[in-house]
Amino acid sequence: SAVEAIKAKGELVMYTNATFPPFEYLSDTSEAVGVDVDIAQAIADELGVELKVENVDFDSIVPSIQSGKGDIGAAGMTVTPERQKEVDFSDTYATSIQYIIVPEDVEVSKVEDLAGKAIGVQTGTTGDTLIAGEINGKEDEEGNKVEGVLQGTDAEEVQYKSALEATQDLLNGRIDAVVIDKMPAESIVAKNDGLKCVELVYADGSKTEESYGICVAKGSDLTEVVNKVIKDLQDSGKIDEFMVDHSNA
């Protein structure tokens, strides 16, 4: 079993992408820290092993868990049907929505206002999938082709390794907007003068709700341990404490 193997090697290996405050980011001493690292530490403690954190590109987390290189993927990762084909997810521990970051003087209140703009995203994220779908067309639940709201507007998607790098290009004027989850967006705006962020809503008022889970290899008995720890941390108010601890990230 996965749990026995982790206990035998004495180490729980967490894969993450530390560009996503407050869930994971680099400390002043370049150590990966954040809410997800605190949760992973609690899982390691429950198993009685050391925690090892591997900081990789976001889009290589799921493949690394699938191949068994890592034991858990914890990265503010949204549970999606596509990812559930590759890995199993724990119970969810946080919710989010997408946000749009723009220069302070730009009027953007809905996705449709991104028409004709260059939009930066982090490769492999739900924001990436959403913007690509609005520019190139998407599929509805039945698999029918649906037109995207930015299709035919000259809107362009630019992929980056992180939202932090996308933000540098936003500040340089190379792109017009960045789409990323709410809390990292708020952190980016708090740390960079001249930017603001708004909820990503559609003209019809709809928005994208997402829930974060920790991923493990398909069929792994680790899921039970992770779920137990998440429940304990929620019941004791610890997850809220972790959020407060990292609120200046």
Chain residues binding ligand ARG by CB under 6 A are 16-17, 19-20, 24, 58, 75-78, 122, 125-126, 181, 210
Exposed, middle or buried by CB within 10 Å (0-12, 13-18, 19+), for 20?
A: buried
Name which of 42 and 77 has its Cβ closer to ligand ARG.
Answer: 77
Name which of 115 and 243 has its Cβ closer to ligand ARG.
Answer: 243
Q: Which residues pair with 209 in a beta bridge?
A: 97
Q: How far is the CB of 96 from ligand ARG (least distance, A)?
A: 6
3-state percent breakdown (helix, strand, coil) of the chain, nearest 5: 35, 25, 35
How many whole angstroms separate alpha carbon 150 and alpha carbon 157?
A: 11
Are the C-beta atoms of residues 99 and 229 closer than 8 Å to each other?
Answer: no
CB count in 10 Å sphere of residue 52: 15
Name which of 183 and 225 has its Cβ closer to ligand ARG.
Answer: 183
Q: How far is the CB of 15 from ligand ARG (least distance, A)?
A: 10
**Sequence letter at residue 201:** V
Name which of 92 and 153 has its Cβ closer to ligand ARG.
Answer: 92
How many whole angstroms separate alpha carbon 24 and alpha carbon 94?
A: 14
Q: How far is the CB of 1 from ligand ARG (least distance, A)?
A: 27
Bridge-based pairing state of the strands 11-16 and 50-55:
parallel
Name which of 112 and 165 has its Cβ closer to ligand ARG.
Answer: 165
Q: How far is the CB of 126 from ligand ARG (least distance, A)?
A: 4
Q: How far is the CB of 125 from ligand ARG (least distance, A)?
A: 3
